[in-house]
């Protein structure tokens, strides 16, 4: 056996020793369940029956013919638009504040990021208590009628409450990404802008924002992906109510599969959501690379 063949065998053994276990685990928890999930979309399985019948593309047809699913998708789009806008604006402003050299900015960074560490289920129940009891009690005490009843019992206000809480949680996460982008802006450019007479906000508009275009693209697309997959906050804060006015697409999939026991249809809905998120992710990669080239 020559030296070249011996080295090749050694590389194969090294891969089997280090890479193969991780590859098998990844395939077991990701690839195999994904393929199995696709197969379920072509059946009428209800999650319990031993007999499974093949139904072809009927589940996919029912998804696009289901008015409640379309409604949930449209509500998710509305929720995503306002949450993405609010969380990115707040996250960017927080990043500007904690990179301005203010005293104790490290402490502020940790405080603003904390909501993102807490699970969405816990945050949802906390804010459910705030909207249902704390704010209503305060509203009754000061005699403000619109604060005397829980926002979560009103269809429009419940969706607004969901947007507010989601934006509050996500802004800290986006702040960290914006901080990374702002700290990489050359200080010479900012100093040159100030020498030319630019105010602080003009320096932000003309220097900092153009320099972090890729960071902005990453934050926008990441927040879009997260809002389309929002489930835990939707479950614990509003549970899709009142009258399904806040039933987002991920929660709708959960309801179809585990409440209505239509696993085939629910999995087909999940595949549709997967395609949507995959397209968003591919667009993120495209625009990020295009920005880097420019």
pLDDT in tens, 135-165: 888 888 888 887 888 889 888 899 999 999 9
Count the domains in the chain.
1
Q: Which among 290, 288, 277 is positioned nearest to 224, based on CA atoms?
A: 277
Q: What percent of the chain has pLDDT over 90?
A: 35
Cβ-based neighbours of 283, under 8 Å, separated by 6 or more: 221
pLDDT over 90 at 109, yes or no: no
pLDDT over 80 at 180, yes or no: yes
Residue 141's pLDDT is 87
Residue 159's pLDDT is 93
For 105: left if phi > 0, alpha if psi spans -120 to 50, otherwise beta; the answer is alpha
> Bigger pLDDT: 191 or 13?
191
Q: Which among 80, 118, 22, 110 is positioned nearest to 221, based on CA atoms?
A: 80
Identify whether 71 is part of a domain: yes
> Bigger pLDDT: 120 or 240?
240
- d(Cα 156, Cα 286) in Å, to the nearest integer? 35
Identify whether 217 is part of a domain: yes
pLDDT over 80 at 15, yes or no: no
Identify whether 52 is part of a domain: no
Domain range enclosing 266: 60-293
- How sure is the predictor about 241, in pLDDT bands with cuts at 50, 70 and 90? confident
Identify whether 24 is part of a domain: no
Buried b (16+ CB within 10 A) or exposed e, 46-62: eeeeeeeeebeebbbeb
pLDDT over 70 at 293, yes or no: no
Q: What is the CATH classification number for the domain harbouring 233? A: 1.10.3720.10
Within 10 angstroms of residue 216's Cβ, the number of other Cβ atoms is: 19
Give pLDDT tens digits for 185-210: 888 888 888 877 777 788 888 888 88
Identify whether 224 is part of a domain: yes
Answer yes or no: are the C-beta atoms of 86 and 167 closer than 8 Å: yes
Identify whether 19 is part of a domain: no
* Mean model confidence pLDDT for the chain: 86
Answer yes or no: are the C-beta atoms of 153 and 242 closer than 8 Å: yes
- d(Cα 264, Cα 58) in Å, to the nearest integer? 9
Identify whether 69 is part of a domain: yes
Q: Which among 176, 163, 177 is positioned nearest to 246, based on CA atoms?
A: 163
Report in angstroms the alpha-carbon separations of 144 from 128, 138, 150, 225. Answer: 20, 9, 12, 37
Identify whether 194 is part of a domain: yes
Convert 55-123 into a string of H (helix), E (strand) and C (coil): CCCHHHHHHHHCHHHHHHHHHHHHHHHHHHHHHHHHHHHHHHHHCCCCCCHHHHHHHHHHHHHCCHHHH
Give pLDDT tens digits for 263-279: 999 999 999 999 988 88
- How sure is the predictor about 254, in pLDDT bands with cuts at 50, 70 and 90? very high
Give pLDDT tens digits for 61-105: 998 888 999 999 999 999 999 999 999 999 999 998 888 877 877
- d(Cα 216, Cα 220) in Å, to the nearest integer? 6
């Amino acid at each position: 056996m020559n030296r070249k063949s011996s080295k090749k065998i050694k590389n194969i053994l090294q891969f089997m020793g280090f890479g193969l276990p991780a590859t098998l685990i990844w395939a077991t928890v990701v690839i195999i369940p994904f393929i199995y999930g696709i197969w379920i979309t072509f059946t009428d399985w209800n999650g319990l029956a031993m007999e499974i019948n093949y139904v072809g593309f009927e589940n996919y047809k029912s998804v696009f013919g289901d008015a409640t699913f379309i409604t949930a998708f449209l509500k998710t789009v509305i929720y995503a638009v306002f949450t993405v806008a609010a969380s990115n604006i707040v996250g960017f402003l927080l990043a500007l504040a904690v990179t301005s050299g203010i005293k104790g900015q490290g402490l502020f960074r940790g405080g603003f990021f904390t909501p993102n560490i807490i699970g969405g289920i816990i945050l949802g129940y906390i804010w459910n208590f705030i909207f249902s009891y704390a704010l209503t009690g305060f509203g009754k005490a000061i005699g403000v009628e619109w604060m005397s009843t829980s926002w979560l019992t009103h269809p429009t206000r419940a969706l607004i409450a969901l947007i507010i809480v989601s934006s509050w949680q996500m802004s800290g996460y986006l702040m960290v990404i914006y901080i990374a982008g702002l700290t990489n802006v050359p200080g010479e450019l900012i100093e040159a802008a100030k020498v030319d007479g630019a105010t602080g906000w003009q320096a932000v508009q003309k220097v900092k924002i153009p320099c972090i275009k890729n960071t902005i693209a990453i934050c926008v697309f990441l927040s879009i992906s997260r809002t389309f997959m929002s489930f835990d906050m939707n479950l614990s804060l509003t549970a899709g109510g009142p009258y399904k006015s806040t039933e987002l697409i991920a929660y709708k999939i959960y309801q179809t599969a585990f409440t209505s026991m239509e696993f085939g249809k629910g999995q087909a809905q999940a595949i549709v959501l997967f395609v949507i998120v995959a397209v968003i992710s591919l667009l993120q990669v495209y625009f990020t690379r295009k920005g880097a080239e420019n």
